[in-house]
């Protein structure tokens, strides 16, 4: 559960597993983790530190309980101001992703910039890369595509280094590498330059296959995105197979009505309509209409990367 939420959060606008999320256990349900963490901070408020409240905030964000998450972030940041600056940067960054998930970009950007500044002062190269990655998606949401591409390129240079002299940078996770490459590819496709995104998407897909199963969220999403980029670049044969496979793979994990899955289906329906498969396109439209009526869709729909997908040419 933790991986799926974190990676989809990355694809949704928080765009990568948050720097402090590894502190939270994968072995319990999200609801159980929230109850236990809140019981801890409420039972001994005098002993509760900023990191404890940060865990509450992240859990609430993962559960899409944004008002409660916002309050927990505010408490955490207030407590962390006199503590470790690295954890404060994590909290600011994570709160920024929460605002971005809600489409509150004007509130998100100052937090992300402040987190970046702290990480630059600390010379935290991986943290700097994560900050640039989050700024890239935020700017994608604002439709500031050239600026988003510049931020994404900076993130890739730090989180997915190829040069030997960058080997001293602490290793980024597979999710962070994939997300940085996805962000850069989305920014390029948004500028109608999908052909330039294909090498990065192939690289990200290779990372996904090396770390996750064939029907996983990252493999499915990257299969679809690579197919989309190939279609927009005029390579329809490979595009059809990849987009179809990607939607099928995502259906296993997100077919219950997640906004990102619905936008993937919608883009696939457009592809089918424009390539002479109108009857299949109508079937997709009917499936979308059914999924959009689900309670989960209404709960999770936000101004996220699914909206970026809907804006792609």
CATH of the domain at 270: 1.25.40.10
Name the phi and psi angles at 237, rounded to 5. Answer: -60, -55
Please indicate, yes or no, if residue 302 is contained in any of the structural domains: yes
Predicted confidence band of residue 161 (pLDDT cuts 50, 70, 90): confident
Domain hosting 292: range is 219-313
Please indicate, yes or no, if residue 35 is contained in any of the structural domains: no
Domain count, the chain: 1
Please indicate, yes or no, if residue 17 is contained in any of the structural domains: no
Please indicate, yes or no, if residue 306 is contained in any of the structural domains: yes
Please give the Cα distance from 132 to 143 (Å, whole number).
Answer: 16
Q: What percent of the chain has pLDDT over 70?
A: 78
Please indicate, yes or no, if residue 25 is contained in any of the structural domains: no
Please indicate, yes or no, if residue 253 is contained in any of the structural domains: yes
pTM, to two decimals: 0.79
Please indicate, yes or no, if residue 233 is contained in any of the structural domains: yes
Mind listing the pLDDT tens digit for each residue in 195-234? 999 999 999 999 999 998 888 888 998 999 999 999 999 8
Please indicate, yes or no, if residue 23 is contained in any of the structural domains: no
Predicted confidence band of residue 66 (pLDDT cuts 50, 70, 90): confident
- Alpha helices (runs of H) in the chain, residue ranges in sequence order: 2-12, 30-43, 50-62, 66-80, 85-101, 105-122, 125-141, 145-159, 174-190, 198-211, 217-232, 236-254, 259-274, 278-291, 295-300, 305-311
HSE-up (13 A, CA, CB side) for residue 179: 31
């Amino acid at each position: 559960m933790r991986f799926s939420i974190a990676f989809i959060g990355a694809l949704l606008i928080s765009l990568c597993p948050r720097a402090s999320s590894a502190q939270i256990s994968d072995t319990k349900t999200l609801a159980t983790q929230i109850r236990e963490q809140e019981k801890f901070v409420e039972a001994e408020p005098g002993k509760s530190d900023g990191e404890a409240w940060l865990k509450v905030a992240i859990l609430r964000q993962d559960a899409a309980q944004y008002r409660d998450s916002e309050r927990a972030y505010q408490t955490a940041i207030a407590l962390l101001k006199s503590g470790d600056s690295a954890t404060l940067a994590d909290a600011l960054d994570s709160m920024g992703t929460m605002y971005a998930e809600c489409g509150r970009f004007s509130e998100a950007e100052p937090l992300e910039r402040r987190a970046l500044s702290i990480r630059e002062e600390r010379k935290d190269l991986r943290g700097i890369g994560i900050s640039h990655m989050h700024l890239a998606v935020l700017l994608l949401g604002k439709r500031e595509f050239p600026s988003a591409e510049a931020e994404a390129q900076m993130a890739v240079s730090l989180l997915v280094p190829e040069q030997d002299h960058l080997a001293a940078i602490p290793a980024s996770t597979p999710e962070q590498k994939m997300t940085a490459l996805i962000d850069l590819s989305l920014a390029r496709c948004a500028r109608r330059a999908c052909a330039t995104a294909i090498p990065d998407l192939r690289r990200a897909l290779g990372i996904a296959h090396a770390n996750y199963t064939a029907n996983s969220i990252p493999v499915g999403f990257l299969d679809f995105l690579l197919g989309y980029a190939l279609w927009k670049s005029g390579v329809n044969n490979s595009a059809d197979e990849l987009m179809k496979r990607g939607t099928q793979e995502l259906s296993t994990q997100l077919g219950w009505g997640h906004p990102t899955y619905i936008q993937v289906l919608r883009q696939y329906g457009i592809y089918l309509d424009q390539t002479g498969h109108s009857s299949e396109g109508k079937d997709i439209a009917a499936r979308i209409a059914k999924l959009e009526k689900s309670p989960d869709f209404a709960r999770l729909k936000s101004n996220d990367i699914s909206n970026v997908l809907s804006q792609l040419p």
